[in-house]
Amino acid sequence: MQRVCFLLQVRPERLEEYKQRHRAVWPDMLQALRETGWTNYSLFLRADGLLVGYFETPDLAAALQGMSQREVNARWQREMAEFFENLGDRNPDEGFLQLEEIFHLPETHDS
C-alpha cells in the first residue's frame, strides 16, 4: 500500500458548505473511490481552510487514472472546484500538492 498525503486550500468563506457537502458524499462517488483503490481515505480541515487529504492505495497512478475515467467523479470534481483557491482550470484531484512521506510506523497487529 502507498500512503498518500495531499494539500488543498478551501476558500475560507465556503468552509461550512464544504464540510456539509462532505457529510453527504454521493453513494456512487464513494463506490467509485472504493472500486478504483482509494481506501482509508480521510479529509481534515484547518480553521483557515487548509485541507489535508490522506488515503492508502495499491497504486496512486492507477487510483487517479481510475477516477479520472468515472463520470461521477467528473460531476463531483466540477461541483467541488469552486470551493478551492489557486486551482486555475484544474479539478481538485488534478491540482493537489502531494507531500513526501518521511517516516512511517506500521500498523501493529499483535497488540
Find out whether 89 and 80 touch, Cβ atoms under 8 Å: no
Query: Residue 44, interface with its own copies (CB under 8 A)?
Result: yes
Which range binds its own copies by CB under 8 A, 26-34, 61-69, 71-79, 87-95?
26-34
Query: Residue 45, interface with its own copies (CB under 8 A)?
Result: yes
Query: Residue 17, interface with its own copies (CB under 8 A)?
Result: no
Catalytic positions: 22
Find out whether 22 and 73 touch, Cβ atoms under 8 Å: no
Query: Residue 74, interface with its own copies (CB under 8 A)?
Result: no
Minimum gap (Å) between residue 26 Cβ and its own copies: 12
CA 20 to chain centre: 15
Q: Which residues, including other chains, have CB under 8 Å from residue 33's CB and lie 6 or more apart?
A: 41, 67
The dihedral through the CA atoms of 57, 62, 63, 66 has a sign that is negative
Minimum gap (Å) between residue 18 Cβ and its own copies: 8
SS3 at position 95: helix
Q: Using the minimum distance from each CB to its own copies, give the nearer residue, 24 or 61.
A: 24
Query: Residue 94, interface with its own copies (CB under 8 A)?
Result: no
